[in-house]
Amino acid sequence: MRRRTQMSKKARTAAQSRADRAAAAVVEQEAAERRRRLLTIGGVLVVIVAVVAGGFWLQSSRDTTGQPATPPGESSEHGLVLGDASAPHTVVIYEDFLCPFCGDLERAADEGLTAAVEEGRARVEYRPVVFLERFGSYSLEAANAFGAVLDTSGPEVAKEFHDRLFEEQPAESGPFPETSWFTELAVEAGADEAEVAPLIEDGAFVQWAENATEAASQSGVVGTPTVLLDDEPVEGATIDEMVDNLMAGLE
């Protein structure tokens, strides 16, 4: 993976302005999270594991002004939807493309979720959020690229791109790829380069990603991965336990 030599101007500007506003708040939040392991979200007690060490991540304040582009087709306002609307179960996954535990969740749950969708047992929605901005602009650029692929290529290619992002996920500390790498990965997933490249390079879905993150926050999501099954949080002290509980609920 090549070290970044440049990034889209729009993504860089957005990330820097938010980082400046939120730096002090992030330090305070992280210190508080080290002292407590339990948080109450909408009246439901859940376990939050090792916020600083790399499990469940807190978001900072962000700018949600402006009109975002919204991917059409098989998508919700804030993510990719797979499966029949009449399925008996609904799964919503909030994930940051830089979050290592989100990658673990993807690897552990993907086969079971794919089967649940194909068998008509579940409708699954993947909602990218941007919580790990303190490590740079990768989270935002990845979410922007995901929106661009969903917009130009539809749900099947977007899911393939989603999976490849986690397969090629960098460490939180980097090194991070150039912006053009997202286009290359999108093309490998099946996207049309002429259509998707300008959207990725210009940050066409940066605002969409920002608004999706704010919507998640307003819904009570404070970290990633967060998984909802039929509007209820799926709990687990580990990713494997969370996946086991999710799959049991889909039986």
Residues ≥6 apart with Cβ < 8 Å to 203: 8, 9, 10, 11, 14, 141, 144
At 27-54, the pLDDT tens digits run 344 433 333 322 323 333 333 333 333 3
Give pTM, 2 decimals. Answer: 0.75
For all residues of the chain together, what is the average pLDDT? 80
Give the pairing type, strands 89-95 and 226-229.
antiparallel
> What's the CATH class of domain 59-249?
alpha beta
Give the integer Cα–Cα distance in Å for 250 and 186.
31
Extents of the domains making up the chain = 59-249
What is the torsional sign of CA 248, 241, 246, 104? negative
pLDDT at 2: 40
Give the integer Cα–Cα distance in Å for 109 and 104.
8
pLDDT at 54: 36
| Region 66-85 average pLDDT | 69
CB-based contact 37:48 (threshold 8 Å): yes
pLDDT at 15: 52
At 216-238, the pLDDT tens digits run 999 999 999 999 999 999 999 99
